């Protein structure tokens, strides 16, 4: 039997997920469970699988929760998914480095190429191969950093959406996040 979700209160931060042991990756199922509690909308977006391969975060998604009146993927749901995937990519990147920091999206854009007509997959990755190294240097130098991430949505062999976002890592405040 599913357990009831804790009620979220506006203005009250959700407790962060403990960092993984040094040198270990996150358990993606644990991260996804925490994500759905920390950001309740995440539990409604149809994410069926989340995995990382190299510098790419992959999601598998069910179409049913995001259907529009035309029987295809609703653009707002797709935009929310791509934005959240970027936030997750950066949060997981920080966690692998032992950093518990706040991440925010500063800018996001989407280009809808074709309708999503079946379950689909989303990939999120840095827009530039050197972006991770540049972000790490920026965090060391000033405590704050930025990265541009790309997201693509494919239904079968068809690219349906190309998106990008600029995400910001906020400086640690008083030794916290």
pTM value > 0.85: yes
**Closest of 84, 40, 27 to residue 61, by C-alpha:** 84
- In a domain? residue 142: yes
Burial class, 111, CB count within 10 angstroms (exposed 0-12 / middle 13-18 / buried 19+)? exposed
Say what the pLDDT of residue 174 is: 47
- In a domain? residue 57: yes
**Which segment of 15-24, 87-96, 115-124, 165-174 scores lowest on mean pLDDT?**
15-24
- In a domain? residue 148: yes
Q: Which pLDDT band holds residue 48 (cuts at 50, 70, 90)?
A: very high
Place of tokens 């992959």: 58
pLDDT for residue 72 is more than 60: yes
* CATH code, domain carrying 51: 3.10.129.10
- In a domain? residue 128: yes
- In a domain? residue 24: no
What pLDDT, in 10s, does the model give residues 94-128? 999 999 899 999 999 999 999 999 999 999 999 99
Say what the pLDDT of residue 74 is: 97
Using a pLDDT cut of 90, give the percent of the chain over it. Answer: 78
Structural domain harbouring 82 = 40-169
- In a domain? residue 139: yes
- In a domain? residue 21: no
Cα(166)–Cα(173) distance, integer angstroms: 21
Cα(149)–Cα(85) distance, integer angstroms: 9
pLDDT for residue 176 is more than 90: no
Could you give the number of structural domains in the chain?
Answer: 1
């Amino acid at each position: 039997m599913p357990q009831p979700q804790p009620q979220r209160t506006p203005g009250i931060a959700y407790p962060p997920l403990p960092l993984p042991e040094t040198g270990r990756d996150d358990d993606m199922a644990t991260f996804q469970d925490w994500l759905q509690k920390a950001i309740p909308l995440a539990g409604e977006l149809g994410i069926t699988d989340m995995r990382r391969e190299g510098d790419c975060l992959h999601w598998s998604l069910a179409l049913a929760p995001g259907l529009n009146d035309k029987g295809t993927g609703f653009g707002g749901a797709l935009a929310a998914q791509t934005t959240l995937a970027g936030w997750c990519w950066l949060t997981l990147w920080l966690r692998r480095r032992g950093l518990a920091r706040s991440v925010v999206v500063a800018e996001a854009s989407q280009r809808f190429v074709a309708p999503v007509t079946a379950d689909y997959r989303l990939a999120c990755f840095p827009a530039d191969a050197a972006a991770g190294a540049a972000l790490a240097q920026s965090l060391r130098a000033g405590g704050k950093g930025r990265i541009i991430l790309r997201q693509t949505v494919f239904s079968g062999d068809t690219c349906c959406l190309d998106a990008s976002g600029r995400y910001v890592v906020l400086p640690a405040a008083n030794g916290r996040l």
